[in-house]
Structure 1
Amino acid sequence: MTYVIAEPCVDVLDRACVEECPVDCIYEGGRMLYIHPDECVDCGACEPVCPVEAIFYEDDVPAEWADYTRANVDFFDDLGSPGGASKTGKVAKDDPMVAGLPPMGEDH
Structure 2
Amino acid sequence: MPYVVTQACVDIKDRSCVIECPVDCIYEGDRMMYIHPDECIECGACEAVCPTSAIYYDVELPAEDENFRTVNADFFAELGSPRGAKKVGKAPDVPFVAALPPGGA
| TM-score class normalised by the smaller sequence | over 0.9
Paired residue for 1:7?
A: 7
Structure 1 residue ranges without an equivalent (≥5): none
Equivalence map 1:7-46=2 (5 Å): 7-46=7-46
Letter in 2 for 1:94: D
Alpha-carbon separation, structure 2, partners of 1:99 and 1:56 = 21
Q: CA RMSD in A?
A: 1.2
Deviations 1:21-49 (CA, angstroms, capped at 9, x unpaired): 00100000010000001101111010010
- Distance (Å, rounded) in 2 between the aligned partners of 1:10 and 1:65: 12
TM-score (norm 1): 0.93
Q: Extract structure 1 runs of 4+ deviating beyond 6 A.
A: none
Higher helix proportion: 2
Q: Identical aligned pairs, as a percentage?
A: 61
How many angstroms does 1:96 deviate by? 1.3
The count of corresponding residues between Structure 1 and Structure 2 is 105
Match of 1:94 in 2: 93
